[in-house]
Chains A and B, each alone.
Chain A
Amino acid sequence: MNPIWVVAKKEISSFFDSLVAYVFLIVFLLICGIFTWLYGIFVQDIFIRGQADLMAFFINGALPAIGLFIPSITMGMIAKEYKSGTIELLLTKSVSNAQLVIGKFIACLLLIAIALTFTLPYLITIAQIGDLDLGRTLAGYFGLVLISAAYISLGLFASSLTADQVVAFVISLVMGICFFILFSLLSSNLQGISSEFFDFASFFSHYEPMVRGVIDTKDVIFFLSITFLGLLLTINQISKRR
């Protein structure tokens, strides 16, 4: 078996072995549910909106849920290995730094995919009520996976910076706040080139077209580049520690 899969499998099974996993999943669904169905923060919730689409889920529910869920799963991924010294075990086995980081990345992405699968009842419910545009909805899910990949790689980088999980959590949360909220706010409050820069750096401005059903190669490449950069920084950080 490829070492990447060995690492990914181990991470997933140890995630579900602990009680924390279920707490995380419940909190994820709770946040998703509240902001999708009961209380709209950015757009109106499904009932007030009165349209058969998942806009309320993609923008209100999923983003805050992912914003909390991802840092809480990535925080321990590398920091815990430093703290317990198990990093020494891993790095003296036949696995390269890159394989290790990619294995952990895949594990996190699969966990997000599992969490997102639990939101499929939303889709089914709405499809019963009205005429749901399936293509547009799937594009939204695709966007969610991309934005998660980018954020996971940043979370892993945060985790590789410190041996303290809480510090790693805070660092990735701060990065999340910047990329999800702050950059969009700055962009709308500034003018000219700085506004354009923050608009470009904001996750939201690349994600929002996908929610509307538009998959632009530019946006896909943006998320993939962030993912790649994050992973590269993480691998580099682990090598530097040796």
Chain B
Amino acid sequence: MDILIRNLSKHYGSQKAVDNISFEVKTGEVLGFLGPNGAGKTTTMKMITSYLTKGEGEILIGGKSFDQEDMRRHIGYLPEHNPLYLDMPVLEYLKFCASLQKVPKSLLDSQIKKMVRQCGLNQEKHKKIGELSKGYRQRVGLAQAMIHDPEILILDEPTTGLDPNQIVEIRALIRQLGKEKTVILSTHILPEVEATCDRILIINQGKIVANGTSDTLRKQASGNKLLKLRISGGSSNDIHAGLSALSTTKMVDIINAEENRFELQSSGQDSNEEVFKLCVKNNWVLLEMVPFETRLEDIFRDLTLN
């Protein structure tokens, strides 16, 4: 089931929480929702799950406009702070959630068993949820979101509180689920987005500021590729002049004249080959050539710091 969002807005009083955003998520895609605190991530997710009434705009799920309870069966939702009934035993809670989502009686037990296994809850399944550690509660939250095998999964910060091993497991689970389902997940952890998401959506002050794969975002953000060079065998001025004369060069900076360190920005294609040939021609020694990739953190900061 695809999710299509058109010109969605939401106000809290005079404050615009979500400001005219549009995007699409296709089946078999994991969309990472990024943004600083208060950017409107959670509000958007709550509107998709119909917990919040939407302001202006359209939310189409599977091509259909949102018809309250009927559509909710297709969505699995893990809310931000993972609210749970602490006095309920795990199994009973999962059964309650499954019945509310109208899982047929014949499938109830097998579905609960499957979730217990997938989320690694087997040892804790008879305990009350209040007795579980934060990581296990998070797993219970994930299990209740997926119990009715929904086509769409909306996960608000799914890996908070998990230990590194669990994080790897849960990410793998999300990736695996993402192959056949439509997944939207929000997070603050940038490596997580790269590890799990097919596409990234960065939102700031209610507006979408970037939308694409992590590679396209990098290209958009830097535009140019950066090479760090160290070349010996000539004076820094000669080398600088030589590098500047290359056809692929956009700009060359001298970082350290004594050690002959340079930073070369190339426009369009890579300059690696040209730099090598230049060194051979002039009999210079190429000591270092490090391609420098813009990190997602930098892109994020660029886009969201005002």
A6 and B100 within 8 A (CB): yes
A90 in complex: contacting residue of B52, B53, B81, B100, CB < 8 Å: B100
Q: Which of A35-43, A80-88, A127-135, A222-230 contacts B (4 or more CB under 8 A)?
A: A80-88
Give every chain A residue within 8 A of B92 (Cβ-Cβ): 13
| Residues 62-87 of chain A, each 1 if its beta carbon lies under 8 Å from chain B, else 0 | 00000000000000000000001110
Interface check A217, CB cutoff 8 A = no
A86 and B84 within 8 A (CB): yes
Q: Which of B68-76, B197-205, B208-216, B270-278 contacts A (4 or more CB under 8 A)?
A: B68-76
A85 and B79 within 8 A (CB): yes
Distance in angstroms between the alpha carbons of A104 and B96 in the assembled complex:
14
- How big is the B interface, by class? 20 to 34
| Residues 1-35 of chain A, each 1 if its beta carbon lies under 8 Å from chain B, else 0 | 10100110010011001100000000000000000
Give every chain A residue within 8 A of B68 (Cβ-Cβ): 96
A96 and B79 within 8 A (CB): no
| Residues 45-79 of chain B, each 1 if its beta carbon lies under 8 Å from chain A, else 0 | 01001111100000000000000111011010101
Number of interface residues of A (CB under 8 A): 22
Interface check A95, CB cutoff 8 A = yes
B83 and A92 within 8 A (CB): no
Distance in angstroms between the alpha carbons of A14 and B100 in the assembled complex:
16
Interface check A190, CB cutoff 8 A = no
Give every chain B residue within 8 A of A18 (Cβ-Cβ): 87
A6 in complex: contacting residue of B70, B77, B87, B96, CB < 8 Å: B96
Give every chain B residue within 8 A of A3 (Cβ-Cβ): 99-100, 102
Interface check A182, CB cutoff 8 A = no
Task: Using known A-B contacts A1-B99, A3-B100, A14-B88, determine if residue A89 contacts B83 with beta carbons closer than 8 Å.
Answer: yes
Distance in angstroms between the alpha carbons of A94 and B68 in the assembled complex:
8
B101 and A93 within 8 A (CB): yes
Interface check B138, CB cutoff 8 A = no
Distance in angstroms between the alpha carbons of A18 and B99 in the assembled complex:
22
B75 in complex: contacting residue of A6, A89, A92, A242, CB < 8 Å: A92
Give every chain B residue within 8 A of A91 (Cβ-Cβ): 50-51
Which residue of chain B has its CB nearest to the CB of A10?
A: B96
Distance in angstroms between the alpha carbons of A92 and B141 in the assembled complex:
13
Distance in angstroms between the alpha carbons of A60 and B186 in the assembled complex:
58
A88 in complex: contacting residue of B53, B79, B85, B100, CB < 8 Å: B79
> What is the minimal beta-carbon distance from A84 to any residue of chain B, in angstroms?
5
A85 and B100 within 8 A (CB): no
B51 and A86 within 8 A (CB): no
Interface check B144, CB cutoff 8 A = yes
Task: Using known A-B contacts A14-B85, A85-B81, A86-B84, determine if residue A94 contacts B100 with beta carbons closer than 8 Å.
Answer: yes
B interface residues with partner A (beta carbon < 8 Å): 46, 49-53, 68-70, 72-73, 75, 77, 79, 81, 83-88, 92, 96-97, 99-102, 105, 144
Top 5 A-B pairs, shortest CB-CB distance: A85-B83, A93-B100, A6-B99, A92-B49, A86-B83
Q: Name 20 interchain pairs, CB-CB below 8 A, sorted by A.
A: A1-B99, A3-B102, A6-B99, A14-B88, A17-B87, A17-B88, A84-B85, A85-B79, A85-B83, A86-B85, A88-B51, A88-B83, A89-B77, A89-B84, A89-B97, A89-B144, A92-B49, A93-B97, A94-B73, A94-B101
